[in-house]
Structure 1
Amino acid sequence: MQQKTITTDVLDIAYRDYGAPNGWPCIMGHGFPYDVNAYAEAAPIIAQAGARVLVPWLRGYGPTRFRSPATLRSGEQAALGADLLAFMDALGIARAVVGGYDWGGRAACVVSALYPERVVGLVSGNSYNIQNIARSMEPASPPEEAALWYQYLFHNERGRRALERNRRGFARQLWSMWSPTWAFDDATFANSAASFDNPDFVDVVIHSYRHRYALVEGDPAYAAIEARLAAQPAIGVPTIAIDGDSDGVNPGTAHHARKFEGFFEHRVFAGAGHNLPQERPAEWAQAVLDVRAAAS
């Protein structure tokens, strides 16, 4: 494994590179509040099967940096998808197996839906991960609303200050609530928590959780992508979607099957919470290999 950096129009994207340089391309994305360590065990398994596995730090995380202070520190879904596409372009990757969970899964879903010619296959934690912003003010069930407490906190300035003052405390609270059966230790958390010291972390997170409820404007640079996502496009690339049956923030997404066309399989990882690849690295890696096989 090597740590490298590639430059796009907007970002200097830091990433981990596993496997042979001529391996088949596989790009995996982490979520909030996690980082590339989510794939520390899964990526070598995939690489051993012949892949070149690339795991970038998302905008606002770890060593990834914005190139200009004038760029809006947006966390909107269109920006995440555009970053993934720009990452592929910068590395000269025409097509790849893509995947992820939470924010990283959202980026993979955006590219799979809008640019299917760039995707061999998709592994998506929590299935169809494209936000329906037009319906974001529709209430959910009481248990679902309770699980989203952190999003509502981030809608106001008290939430911004709270996150700024105690990034690690909030992240650890969410890790514990979202993966109640995962007995991670202090060292495991600390390895990822360093990524939250990125100077743009708070701004990107706050913008993400406000934009998805249409509380703030997005970056005009991504308006065309957001307009296409508003139509809630189906995903037509071969897909394996995964839920954990102990996920403390997502109640399950088997009903998302209608949003996928072509090969689609939904799997449930027994005893797993929200951080699927880190909690079940071997099973996640197998899903990547299986979706590639299905695409062949």
Structure 2
Amino acid sequence: MSDPINANRRNFLQIASTGAAALTAAGFGLLHPAHAQGAGTASAAASSSNADALAPIRQIKAGVLDIGYFEAGPANGPVVLLLHGWPYDIHSFIDVLPILVAKGYRVIAPHARGYGTTQFLSADTMRNGQPAALAVDTIALMDALKIERALVAGYDWGGRTAGILAALWPERVKALVAVSGYLIGSRAANAKPLPPKAELAWWYQFYFSTERGALGYKQYTHEFAKLIWQLASPQWRFDDATFARSAKSLDNPDHVAISIHNYRWRLGLAEGEAKYDSIESRLEQLPSIAVPTITMEGDANGAPHPSPDSYAKRFTGKYAHRLVTGGIGHNLPQEAPQAFAQAVIDADKF
């Protein structure tokens, strides 16, 4: 049986390489509507990827960064920002992009600081991984691209950033799709110990708190990332080419420093930058999110994540939660692209 996701993606990449901004739904042929996917469907998509890569990557100076990003879809279409997590990259959305572009969206997937072609403009800027910094990066990107409002969707670090934008800059967010729900936290909350089983799931955070951990991540970045992929998505059978395509983004010269700082900052073992203090103070209050929101979770997510009932009340606007079944793990957009894309489309209609 042919794989409609990958056939559409190949057409998409061929068209994108000749002019991403001009993409229209006519370039794709028939796309099946998004729905929850089983592990077999997700695995087939991963194993038959042939390591297609998103190209061309554009660059724009925004805030303290020169941000690398992939863009596709009509220039005047409603904007969707897709924010990736750690230790993944923008290729988590490679099968989400053509579905959204076929619906007329202008879709932008930026490399976060420390990934891909995103670089700091100054060697003197702190390689800071605190959540407020990543959120400000995204607002700076929107400003640089002259985007007033966007649908924002993400998972892992990207899901946290998307939630922060929706909470603190609601006028810039039309709707939110967040895998694993409400991920806004604080160092005060992180200081409280968890039950031993829950602490075990955060083993890498404690590893990164040591110099041995920092050296180990630097020396074995790709091996470490592959292990995280396997633990976080135990039923996702991605192939070596699929992993290698994303792992290239981890070769960014700032990736290790930003990753280590993020996890040390969470535990109060590293300081951030004073310019973000006011944002972090607001986030410590765990602000509610009033923009229309769909939260999602895979039924086989092996990474630490909160239960939906623990965060549902944080969303005070129109809200829905979706469990994606069939062995879907932590990297939900790549494992269940149709379900993720459909959530974006549906949130836009809220």
The alignment's TM-score, normalised by the length of structure 1, stands at 0.97
Q: State the match for 1:165 in structure 2.
A: 219
The answer to whether 1:15 aligns with 2:69 is yes
Give the unaligned 5+ runs of structure 2.
1-15, 17-55
Q: State the match for 1:128 in structure 2.
A: 182
C-alpha distance in 2, partners of 1:132/1:273? 25
C-alpha distance in 2, partners of 1:222/1:14? 23
Answer with 1 or 2: which has the greater Rg.
2
Which of 34, 43, 49 in structure 1 is aligned with 2:88? 34
Count matched residues: 294
Contact 1:102 / 1:126 at 8 angstroms: preserved in 2? Answer: yes
C-alpha distance in 1, partners of 2:108/2:348? 16
**Residues 246-257 of structure 1 aligned to structure 2 (within 5 Å):** 246-254=300-308, 255-257=310-312
C-alpha distance in 2, partners of 1:232/1:239? 16
Give the unaligned 5+ runs of structure 1.
none
The answer to whether 1:50 aligns with 2:83 is no
Q: State the match for 2:252 in structure 1.
A: 198
Identity over aligned pairs, percent: 46
Give CA deviations for 1:179-216 in whole Å, capped at 9, x if unaligned: 00100000000000000100000100000001111111
Q: State the match for 2:323 in structure 1.
A: 268
Contact 1:144 / 1:249 at 8 angstroms: preserved in 2? Answer: no
Contact 1:14 / 1:56 at 8 angstroms: preserved in 2? Answer: yes
Which residue identity lines up with residue 328 of structure 2 in the other structure?
Answer: A
Which residue identity lines up with residue 263 of structure 1 in the other structure?
Answer: K
RMSD (CA atoms): 0.9
The structural deviation recorded for 1:286 is: 0.2
The answer to whether 1:141 aligns with 2:195 is yes
The SS at the match of 1:111 is helix
C-alpha distance in 2, partners of 1:88/1:253? 31
The SS at the match of 1:181 is coil
Q: State the match for 2:270 in structure 1.
A: 216
C-alpha distance in 1, partners of 2:337/2:104? 17
C-alpha distance in 2, partners of 1:242/1:85? 24
Which residue identity lines up with residue 140 of structure 1 in the other structure?
Answer: L
The structural deviation recorded for 1:8 is: 1.2
Q: State the match for 2:344 in structure 1.
A: 288
Which residue identity lines up with residue 266 of structure 1 in the other structure?
Answer: H
Q: State the match for 2:152 in structure 1.
A: 98
C-alpha distance in 2, partners of 1:286/1:140? 35
Contact 1:250 / 1:274 at 8 angstroms: preserved in 2? Answer: no
Give CA deviations for 1:77-116 in whole Å, capped at 9, x if unaligned: 0001101111100000000000100111111111100010
Which of 73, 79, 89 in structure 1 is aligned with 2:143? 89
Which residue identity lines up with residue 292 of structure 1 in the other structure?
Answer: D
Contact 1:23 / 1:52 at 8 angstroms: preserved in 2? Answer: yes
